[in-house]
Amino acid sequence: MEGDRGEVLLQAAVQECGTEQDHNSNSNQEQKKDPCAETTAHADFSDPIYKEISLANGAINRMNREELRAKCAELKLDTRGVKDVLKKRLKSYYKKQKLKQSASLGADDSYYDYICVVDFEATCEESNPRNFVHEIIEFPMVLIDTHTLEIVDSFQEYVKPKLNPQLSDFCVELTGITQKMVDEADPFPSVFRRVVAWLQEKELGTKYKYTLLTDGSWDMSKFLYTQCRQSRMRYPPFARNWINIRKSYGNYYKVARTQTKLNCMLENLGMKYEGRPHCGLDDSRNIARVAIRMLKDGCRLRVNERLHEGMLQNVSSTAVLEGAPPPQYPKSRD
C-alpha cells in the first residue's frame, strides 16, 4: 500500500504537468525552430520538462520513508539511507531520466574520468603542543573510475618522519602504524616520486581528466603543504585544487556540518565503515565508497577548494570545470 500511494503521487504530478505542456505546445514548437532559443530555454529552465521535474519533486517530498524505500526498490535503486538521502536519490533519478528524454542532460555530468581519493596519516601527540609540526607517515591513494563507478586501483606507502622520528604511543595506537614501519620506510621526497610515477602510469592529466578528493581541508592545506615546506619542495600544482567531500555531501543532501564526518556520512547512506579507522588506506577506501554513492545518487562532484599562495580558498560552484594538470615532481625550494 505504501508503494501504491507513492506511485499515485508521482502519476498525479506527471498528469498535471502533461496538461500544462499541451497548453504551451504551440509556443514550444516555435521556440525549437531556433537552436539558440532552445539553448536559452534550457538555461533559464523555461522548458516544460523542468515543470514536470518540479512536480515530481513535490510528490517525492510528500512521501514517508517506507514509501520512498518502496519506490526505490521498484526502480531497482539502493534502498539504504535516511529519509533525506532517499528523497535526493529519487529526485536525482527522475531528473536524470526526464533530461535524457529531452536531450537536456548537462555535458559535464561526468566531467572527470577519474577521482583520486587521498587521506594522509601524520605524526601526532595526544595533546599536540601549540607549534607541533605534523609529518606525513602514510601516503595512500584510491582511484575511482567515474564511468564504471568502481574503485579500480590504490597506492599506499609509509613515510619516515624527520623532525620527530620517534612515534608517540598515542600515534601508534591511533593509526596502527608501528615504529618499525616508519623506520623501514623512505623519506617523503622518495615516496612522493613514486606517487607521481603511479599517477603518470594511469595517464592522468594527459589522456584522462582527473582531480583529487579529500575528507576535509587539512590533507592538502595543512599536511601536504607543511610536508612540502619541511622537505624543501615546492607545492605540487596538481594538488592545488581538490574536492572536499564534506562540503559536497552537506550541500547535496542538505545536512548540517556536524553530519559530514566520515562515519556519519556512511551511516546516513546506509553503510558501515569497512576496515580499521585511521588507517589511511582504509579511510581512503571508505571515503571513496561515499563518493561513489553520491555519484550514483546523481551528485556532480566538482572541485570546491584550492590552495592559493599558501592560503585555503573556496572555489565557486559556477567556476569553469577544469581537471588537474599532469602530475610532475615539484622543483626544490632551494
Mean pLDDT of 42-59: 74
Residue 229: what pLDDT? 96
For domain 2-101, the CATH architecture is Orthogonal Bundle (1.10)
Count CA atoms closer than 13 A to 84's CA, side-chain side: 12
Locate 236 and state its grid cell. Answer: 605540487
Calpha distance 211→202 (Å, rounded):
13
Residue 34: what pLDDT? 38
Does residue 80 have a pLDDT over 70? yes
**Would you kindly state where each structural domain of the chain is located, as residue ranges?**
2-101, 114-314
Mean pLDDT of 152-165: 97
- What is the third-level CATH fold of 114-314? Nucleotidyltransferase; domain 5 (3.30.420)
Calpha distance 280→177 (Å, rounded):
10
CA distances to 25, 28, 43, 114, 284 from 106, rounded to whole Å, are 24, 20, 10, 18, 29
Exactly one of 2, 16, 42, 278 is catalytic; name it: 278
H, E, C per residue of 183-218 = HCCECHHHHHHHHHHHHHHCCECCCECEEEEECCCH
Calpha distance 3→224 (Å, rounded):
50
Of 297 and 29, the structure prediction assigns the larger pLDDT to 297
**Catalytic site includes residue 66:** no
Does residue 294 have a pLDDT over 80? yes
Asked if residues 243 and 302 have their Cβ atoms less than 8 Å apart, the reply is yes
Residue 99: what pLDDT? 78
Exactly one of 52, 67, 121, 138 is catalytic; name it: 121
Which of 115-119, 126-130, 166-170 is least confident? 126-130
Does residue 36 have a pLDDT over 90? no
Instruction: Say whether 114-314 and 2-101 share the same fold.
Output: no
**pLDDT tier, 108 (very low <50, low <70, confident <90, very high otherwise):** very low
**pLDDT tier, 182 (very low <50, low <70, confident <90, very high otherwise):** very high
**Catalytic site includes residue 23:** no
What sign results for the dihedral spanned by CA atoms 219, 224, 230, 235? negative
- Residue range 244-280, pLDDT digits in tens: 999 999 999 999 999 999 999 999 999 999 999 999 9
